[in-house]
Amino acid sequence: MATRTLLRPTGFVDSPFGHDGKVARLAGGLNWFAAVELLTIEGQRRVASELIAVAEVESRLDDQLARQWQALTAARPPLQLGERTVRLDQPQVMGILNVTPDSFSDGGRFSGSHDAAIAGADMTAAGAAIIDVGGESTRPGSSPVWEGDEIDRVVPVIRQLAGGGAAISIDTRKGEVARVAVGAGARLVNDVSALTYDPRLADVTAAAGVPIVLMHHQGDPQTMQDNPRYGDVLVEVYLWLEERIAAAEAAGIARERILVDPGFGFGKSVAHNLELMNGLAIFHSLGCPLVLGASRKRTIGALSNEAPADQRLGGSIALALKAVEQGAHIVRVHDVPETAQALRVWRGLRDQALTPRT
């Protein structure tokens, strides 16, 4: 069985000052780390781990680890979404705008495209860099939506928001929906299936030249929470995303236009989700911007006396902050004003830590 090593950054420090050669910057963001866990894997499981200081890393790098190290420490270029530039040297908020009757948290909230567009504009004003518009619920137990219905739901909203200057993402698994949405002004595709649901979506994305988020999932929405199982969830999700990146590149999508999402809550138990969050920084060695969507998910309810979806704000912010502490570039959230405020305070703390003392 083939053996290889993965790199997981850890030992995060507030500031690099006074630590020359002892710390490294994570993915060009506002986080610095002083140690790396070397995870030896056989097949899809960890068989050993070793914690080493950043100062020792160079002496341990073979060609394969050198590529991971470069990916871990390289800056992520900004996303160019039409006329909007979204910088990835600091965490950004993606606002969730579900134009559906059955989404798990806010299904049926909007009675029409005008109401949805107003909500999207409010999210932008509150600090969302991107508005993610979706017309098909992929909550546990949901059924697929005909693409014509999905198009009818999302296109009027996208047109209104894009016309107002917002950066729009289309949350879809379907090629035809993405094609029409891009024509209406969407400039990013967010695919919860990572190009496994509809083979047309890869061609549409490549032809349009827009970025795409590839999200991990296990099973389909109808069955994904029926006893999900992993031998080693962190390693399995990492290797799966590695394969999907390669598949996207083979389909003609440039690597610099690929983002990854470990798929919090998509075919995962509470324990799986928590393990992914604790090890989130490992995904930076894939070399792609990291997206995390944990807002209002069931794990929060499970840890807080089964609080309903609309009472999970505190847990959602806790997970967003945990993500950005490990270098997540984009957090996908329902509660934009509150999350944006939390990130502004976090950013203030980071700016102070990164200000040299005089």
Q: Which of 297, 298, 312, 350 is catalytic?
A: 297
Amino acid at 20: D
- Strand 3-13 to 32-42 pairing: antiparallel
Q: Which of 139, 159, 332, 350 is catalytic?
A: 332
Distance CA 304, CA 333 (A): 19
Phi-psi region of 165 (alpha: psi -120 to 50; beta: other; left: phi over 0): left
The alpha carbon torsion through 198, 200, 205, 206 (nearest 10 deg) reads 130
Number of helices followed by number of strands (H, E) in the chain: 11, 14
The partner residues of 8 in beta bridges, in order of sequence, read 37
Amino acid at 243: E
CB-neighbour burial class of residue 341 (10 A; exposed 0-12, middle 13-18, buried 19+): middle
Phi-psi region of 35 (alpha: psi -120 to 50; beta: other; left: phi over 0): beta
Helix axes 200-208, 233-250, angle to 10 degrees: 60
Q: How far apart, in Å, do the first and last CA atoms of the chain sit?
A: 55
The yes-or-no answer on residue 268 being catalytic is no
The yes-or-no answer on residue 67 being catalytic is no
- Strand 330-333 to 92-98 pairing: parallel
Distance CA 241, CA 207 (A): 22
Helix (H) or strand (E) holding 147: helix 147-163
Distance CA 280, CA 238 (A): 10
Helix (H) or strand (E) holding 145: none
Q: Give me the active site residues, please.
A: 297, 332
